[in-house]
Structures are given as structure tokens and as C-alpha cells.
Amino acid sequence: MLRDRPVGDEAPATGYAAYDRAVAALRARYAEVPPGVPVRLDKPTSNLFRFRPDHSGDSLDVRGFGNVLEIDAAGRTAEVGGMTTYEDLVDATLPHGLMPSVVPQLKTITVGGAIAGLGIESTSLRNGLPHEAAQEMEILTGDGRVVRARPDNEHSALFHGFPNSYGTLGYVLRVRLALEPVRPAVLLRHLHFPDTPGYVSAMRTACEDGRYEGLPVDFVDGTVFSRGEHYLTLGSFTDATGELSDYTGARVFYRSLRGRATDTLSVHDYLWRWDTDWFWCSRALGAQNPLIRAVWPRRYLRSDVYRSIVAFDRRHGLSDRVRAARGAPPREPVIQDVEVPVDRVAEFLDFFHREIGISPIWVCPLRQRHPVRWTLYPLDPETLYVNVGFWSTVPAPDGAQHGTANRKIERAVVELGGHKSLYSTSFFDESEFWELYNGYDYGKLKRAYDPERRLPDLYEKCVRER
């Protein structure tokens, strides 16, 4: 095949052999799809919030690419199929004392999905975004080839242009990822700030110094409950494994921020602390009601279950019909993550409190790890950004333009020099979209790897298909 594989024992070889068979079957299936017929991936989960009304087209079975092929503990790398979930990858790496350098918050996010569609977590202050951990990718391109893309080979333009392409240039089949060492647990400090300037200043200090008030900082994120209630959560690896907190059952992690100045979780539970309650979004489904939680099986307290419920509701319009029957006004979903330079994040939060009014809000600082240009989502390597995430609904006034709140957010992010992730609904007009997401270089990649346009383009997939 295309890679120089490390010599391993029988188990990795068997995994690679199954992978090769899956590649051959996928290429044959792709070749059978008639020109002009939309192509979709047949996979069990999704973390996108662009719910398509029509699932027409041919599907590609990619379940054969959901395996961890090899862990090189000495070299601190993992070879994984593109459809491998971070849940499975973490389960494979932790026994070696390792973890992916960035582990997105939700268990069923796939490695390929995090590369093609971005991701973030509390190590992003030092490790950037998930695609920066990729050392090599094997990609099924739109023209039916399977190419090996590296930062230093003939497909380097594809390697650097693949993040934020959302399956419009091709699909990741295999990736080699960098790993980093872990310790058994994570000590958390939840610092309260009554004002935004002090909050942002402390965040900047923790990120730039790598220490805060005498302790090292390995993880940084935060939660904003209101204009006067901000929490900065600083995490430090620790060997202490005495009394560890458990937020996978009756207790809810985000509620603990207000009641505990410090906390300690196993590294496994820390990585998935937000998944159990989908940050705080499980409350809208009743899962935080003590009576309901008491009978809700623990194995179903997880983000993919909640998303399935929301997807069913969206498909059938159940909530909309109930609101209409009660005479309540319609609501607009506002489910977004945006990146704003740290110097402008206070302005964004002020706008958001004033114009949108959703709470809580999640914040997570990030700095690009490598001084390279990621073509479709360029960040300044010298700038500290803050990801701001918000996931709820707001009232939709009578006669208001569709997506009014989302459009306001888009305008504010652009004015503040930020970027918006594309996993959810977008409302940019086409010319502005291509200006923001580098349509010129994207067009060159599209012509090189999908000249017959068998896959949708980025604007079609991320805006027109909302």
C-alpha cells in the first residue's frame, strides 16, 4: 500500500490487513456511485448540527475504519482509522500512560471528523487544534484516489488544506497522531471572577506563563454563568489518586464549579467530564432532574444519546408542534463555537450578554501549536484566541429574518477578527464565505483532488444544506 509501516507483531499486522481490505472495498464502492449522485458516509454517530431534511444519495460504509491499528508507546504515536472515536482511542492509549494531545469533549467525535471539521479542548492552550497532532493522513479523495498526505510530500497542500474541509475534498481513512504522556489524575482549581476584564487577564496569564499562583497549568477552560459570574478552571496533572470525584452518575460536573474551589478527577474522567451531561445541555432533556436521573441508566448519560434525541425531535418537529399548541412563540437554535482573539473576547462577551442572552457559556483558550498556515482555517500562531461555545435556543420574533441571532453572531465575530466553526448552521452569503474561508486556495485543492466535483463544495455543504 502507500505507507512505510512499522514492523510489528501479529496483532498490528492483522489490523493493517483488515484496513487494506476495507480500503479496497471502499474504493470499489465509490467507483460504483454514478456521477452527480450525492455521496454520504454510513456511520453510526454524528456530532454535526446541520440536520439535513433529505438523506438521498449513495452511502459509503466506513465502519471498517473505526479501529486503533497500532500504539507506538516509545515513539508516542497512534495509527488509527479515520472513523475511530476518541472514546476508543483514549481507551487504547491510557494503558500506555499516553493520551492524544487534544481530546475533543465528546466521546463519539471521530479522529477524522476532528481533523476535517476541527475540535478543541483544554489542552489547546499548548497543543492547538486536533489536526495539529496529525503527522500523516491517508485520504480517499473526491476523484477516487487514496493518497498519503504529509506536511513534506507531494500532497502537502492537501495535508494543510484538509482541516475545516468537512468531507468536501475527501475522507480520512487512516491517520498517524502524536500522543503525550499523562499522570493518573488531574487536580482542578475553579477560580471565581466577578468581572470580565479580571477573568480574561487571569486566563491570559495562565496560558502565557504555564503557571498560576505557583502551580503548573496543563489544562485551561472556563464557564461563564452571567456578566458577574465567571469561573476559570485550571487543571494540573497529579499522581494523587486518593479521593477522586465521580460525575458520571448522580452528580453534575458543571454545577460543581460553583461549590468547590478544588477538585480531583482521574485523567479518564477528566477527559470526559463534559460528555456525561453534554456540558449542561442534558438539562433541556430532563436528565438533570433528580427524579428522572435516578431511573436514567448510567450508560445512557452520554452525549450521543442526547444528540439522537435532539435529532429525532428536529426531524419530526415535535418541540415546535408542542410550542405552537401552547401558543408559545417559535425559537431559533443557536448552537455555535467561535474563536475570538483574547484582546477582543471581552467585547464579544459583552455583545453576547446584551444581544443573545444564552447562559452558561463555555470558553477555552487556544494557540496554534506550529508556525504553519492551515489553509482553510488560518490562525495567527502569535495570537492567543478564546473559543466561545453556546448551545441553546432563543425566541424568534414574529416576522424576523430566519437565523436572526446566528447572523448577529456571525457579524460580531467577523468584526472582532475571529473565526466561526462550521459544524452547525451558517448564514454567510457566498462571497463573504469564500473570503473568510480562503476560497481561492480551496478552489485549487478542489480542482486537484475533486475535478469532477463528485463531492459538494464547502459552501454548499456548510451553508446551503442547512
Query: What's the CA gap between 282 and 310, in Å, rounded?
Result: 10
Instruction: Tell me the residue range of the domain where 166 lies.
Output: 10-181
**Of 32-36, 323-327, 368-372, the least confident:** 323-327
| Predicted local confidence at residue 14, as pLDDT | 58
| Predicted local confidence at residue 165, as pLDDT | 96
The larger pLDDT score, comparing residue 151 to residue 2, is at 151
| Predicted local confidence at residue 54, as pLDDT | 52
Q: Is residue 128 part of a domain?
A: yes
The larger pLDDT score, comparing residue 46 to residue 183, is at 183
| Predicted local confidence at residue 3, as pLDDT | 46
Question: Could you read off the pLDDT of 216-237 as tens digits, one per residue?
Answer: 999 999 999 999 999 999 999 9
* Separate counts of helices (H) and strands (E) for the chain: 16, 18
Model confidence at 203, pLDDT cuts 50, 70, 90, reads: very high
Could you tell me if 79 and 90 are in contact, meaning their C-beta atoms sit under 8 angstroms apart? Answer: no
**Of 63-67, 187-191, 404-408, 441-445, the least confident:** 63-67
Q: Is residue 142 part of a domain?
A: yes
Per-residue pLDDT, averaged over 418-443, amounts to 95
Q: Is residue 277 part of a domain?
A: no
The larger pLDDT score, comparing residue 445 to residue 397, is at 445
Query: What's the CA gap between 187 and 336, in Å, rounded?
Result: 29
pLDDT at residue 465 greater than cutoff 80:
no
Q: Is residue 32 part of a domain?
A: yes
The larger pLDDT score, comparing residue 390 to residue 242, is at 390
Per-residue pLDDT, averaged over 131-151, amounts to 96
| Predicted local confidence at residue 264, as pLDDT | 97
Per-residue pLDDT, averaged over 45-54, amounts to 61
The larger pLDDT score, comparing residue 396 to residue 352, is at 352
Q: Is residue 370 classed exposed, middle or buried when 0-12, 13-18 and 19+ CB atoms within 10 A define those classes? A: exposed
Query: What's the CA gap between 213 and 206, in Å, rounded?
Result: 9
Per-residue pLDDT, averaged over 159-168, amounts to 96
Of 225, 221, 269, the closest CA to residue 247 belongs to 269
Question: Could you read off the pLDDT of 289-311 as tens digits, one per residue?
Answer: 999 999 999 999 999 999 999 88
pLDDT at residue 47 greater than cutoff 70:
no
Query: What's the CA gap between 376 and 378, in Å, rounded?
Result: 6
Model confidence at 315, pLDDT cuts 50, 70, 90, reads: confident
Q: Is residue 98 part of a domain?
A: yes
Per-residue pLDDT, averaged over 125-146, amounts to 96
Q: Is residue 350 part of a domain?
A: no
Per-residue pLDDT, averaged over 114-143, amounts to 96
Mean pLDDT of the chain, nearest integer: 92
Q: For strands 39-42 and 58-61, give the pairing.
A: parallel
Model confidence at 466, pLDDT cuts 50, 70, 90, reads: low
Per-residue pLDDT, averaged over 202-221, amounts to 96
- DSSP letters for 80-115: EETT-BHHHHHHHHGGGTEEESS--SSTT-BHHHHH
Q: Which helix (H) or strand (E) holds 446?
A: helix 439-449
Q: Is residue 197 classed exposed, middle or buried when 0-12, 13-18 and 19+ CB atoms within 10 A define those classes? A: exposed
Number of domains in the chain: 1
Question: Could you read off the pLDDT of 330-389 as tens digits, one per residue?
Answer: 899 999 999 999 999 999 999 999 999 999 999 999 999 888 899 999 899 999 999 999
Of 276, 213, 273, 270, the closest CA to residue 240 belongs to 270
Per-residue pLDDT, averaged over 455-461, amounts to 93
Q: Is residue 66 part of a domain?
A: yes
Q: Is residue 360 classed exposed, middle or buried when 0-12, 13-18 and 19+ CB atoms within 10 A define those classes? A: buried
Query: What's the CA gap between 265 and 245, in Å, rounded?
Result: 5
| SS percent in the chain: helix, strand, coil, step 5 | 35, 25, 40
Angle between helices 345-355 and 196-209 (to 10 degrees): 140
Q: Is residue 86 part of a domain?
A: yes
Question: What CATH number is associated with residue 25?
Answer: 3.30.465.10
Report how far Cα 122 is from the mean position of its chain's Cα atoms: 12
Report how far Cα 462 is from the mean position of its chain's Cα atoms: 15
In the DSSP assignment, the letter for residue 448 is H
- Backbone Cα Rg of the chain: 22
Model confidence at 314, pLDDT cuts 50, 70, 90, reads: confident
Percent of the chain with pLDDT over 90: 80
- DSSP letters for 45-62: ----B---S---SEEEE-
The larger pLDDT score, comparing residue 359 to residue 15, is at 359
pLDDT at residue 43 greater than cutoff 90:
no
Model confidence at 12, pLDDT cuts 50, 70, 90, reads: very low
| Predicted local confidence at residue 51, as pLDDT | 57
